[in-house]
Amino acid sequence: MKMKIVKSIALVLVMSMCTCLISACGTSKKEGDDSKVSVKIGYWPQKDVSPDNYKLYEGYLAAMNEKYPEIEIIPDHYEYAADTFLPAAASGQIPNMFRVPFTEVSKIVKAGYAADISEKFKEFGFDTALKDSVLDLVTVDGKYYGVPYNAYIVGMIYNVKLFEEAGLVDEEGKPIYPTNFEELRQTAITIKEKTGKAGFTFPTNSGWMLMSMAWSFGVDFMEQIDGKWTATFDSPEMINLMQYISDLKWKDNVLPENILLAVKDVQQLFATDQVACTYAPTDWANGMISAYGMSKDNISNSPVPAGPAGAYTQIGGDIWMVSPDTTSEQMDAIFKWLDIRGNGLKLDDSAIERQKERYKTQYEKNEAITNMDFSIFKEAERVEQIKKAKEEYLNVDEKRWNTVYSDNLILRAEEPVDAQQLYQVISSIVQEILTNQNADIPALVKQANSNFQRDFLDKNN
């Protein structure tokens, strides 16, 4: 009898433990159960590292708790890193929602660590509200795998002081922008002649910022043939681009003396009035203002110049992705969280107030706030709501701060395979031609194309 009682107690304990485990593992709200839908949100700012952003997130969380008490938001400080993501995902360490660059979408989907969010994406109206060029960045095989967080496009940025010294401003004091590559060359020559400073530059240790120029020259870097990727930049177009860059150095002498430049080097040269113009994403300006004390009034911008193939510009940014084990209810909670943050299509009065709080924080940090930003939304009402939220915090001269987007631009995402490796290959060509006046450009291009195929593309085929 005693043995039976012990066995019965043991059975009850086991059943009780199983019930607890099931309850702990389940994160979705069940019928007749007052438990909450819990979701982990990544990229949560840390208080001691980014107090301003932490304060904003605390406001988002308070608003979420008030509007959706049935949802529990669990802050997670996880930040994406290319070299650690796959192991972290395999061991279940990524949160329900995590943020990654646009370039990583296909890789993460292919590895099986992203949920297809098409149903909720459409339910919340993103499929019709976003610009087609942005939709393409989150689409794989006709399905949606992410919600854009922000986006930038590469434009041109100008040092107004040097343009004024060179007499390259109109009657309103606005720089006279080059609209094609010959005008860019002539502008750079005038700047050098009139001021003694470099007329133009770009980062030479990464081919990333050369992509807009290359596409505008008509360069095609790769093509998928019968399911296999083939390098295709051993072409007259690539040779013409490299000859153009070589001439800027050896014929026109309009580049900086030091040609081995990282992004931070270009930013410093520009911010300290040593170079007149460069290609730049829309977020570079605030970095130069905060790091080097550059005046917002000394900055102007425009769309990229057109080349023989048109005016191409690179689009990039970050998106929110969802882990594959996330339930439908959790996805619903995530989209509601995005609405609260102001990243959704619907902006109610409280969401607009939170947007204003964000702009107030930027204003207090002396960041440039302009209505010329590139918007990921084509929905006119949504765009206007954001413009109104910014109105009282606008702090730049709109005669000089222009949109870097125009209907004439052709937006392109980074190359689909081994983009980072491609940048280094391009960089090696550029550095050789800028350090060797007699460099054999066709031979360099041919060898680089062959190396990229052998060392990278063949390994993906």
Q: Note whether residue 12 is domain-resident.
A: no
Same structural domain, 302 and 321: no
Give me the pLDDT at residue 10, please. Answer: 42
Q: Note whether residue 19 is domain-resident.
A: no
Same structural domain, 293 and 163: yes
Task: State both tokens at 132.
Answer: 């087609």
What is this structure's pTM? 0.83
Q: What is the CA radius of gyration of the chain?
A: 26
CA distances from 137 to 37, 93, 117, 133, 216 (A): 29, 25, 14, 7, 20
Task: State both tokens at 364.
Answer: 């207090």
Same structural domain, 347 and 211: no
The structure tokens 């001021």 sit at 195
Q: Note whether residue 185 is domain-resident.
A: yes
Q: Note whether residue 28 is domain-resident.
A: no
Same structural domain, 238 and 105: no
Q: Note whether residue 162 is domain-resident.
A: yes
Closest CA to 65 of 385, 350, 319, 359: 350
Task: State both tokens at 435.
Answer: 């350090």
Same structural domain, 193 and 282: yes
Give me the pLDDT at residue 35, please. Answer: 79
Q: 250, 172 in Cβ contact below 8 A? A: no
Same structural domain, 306 and 321: no
Note down the domain range covering 174: 158-311+415-460
State the CB neighbour count (10 A cutoff) for residue 84: 12
Q: Note whether residue 151 is domain-resident.
A: no
Number of domains in the chain: 2
Q: Note whether residue 150 is domain-resident.
A: no
Same structural domain, 132 and 42: yes
Same structural domain, 202 and 99: no
Same structural domain, 188 and 262: yes
Tell me how far apart the alpha carbons of residues 439 and 433 are, in angstroms, rounded to a whole number. Answer: 5
Closest CA to 108 of 130, 80, 129: 80
Same structural domain, 234 and 94: no
Same structural domain, 45 and 137: yes
Q: Note whether residue 6 is domain-resident.
A: no
Instruction: Note down pLDDT in tens along the chain; length 461 residues.
Output: 434 443 343 444 334 443 443 333 333 333 334 579 999 999 999 999 999 889 989 999 999 999 999 999 999 999 999 889 999 999 999 999 999 988 889 889 989 999 999 999 999 999 999 998 899 889 999 999 999 988 889 999 999 999 999 999 999 889 999 999 999 999 999 999 999 999 999 999 988 889 999 999 999 999 999 989 999 999 999 999 999 999 999 999 999 999 899 999 999 999 999 999 999 987 899 999 999 999 999 999 999 999 999 999 999 889 999 999 999 999 999 999 999 998 888 788 888 988 898 899 889 988 999 988 888 998 888 889 999 999 999 999 888 888 898 888 999 988 988 888 999 999 999 999 999 999 999 999 999 999 999 999 998 77
Same structural domain, 220 and 270: yes
CATH of residue 369's domain is 3.40.190.10
Closest CA to 386 of 367, 407, 370, 401: 370
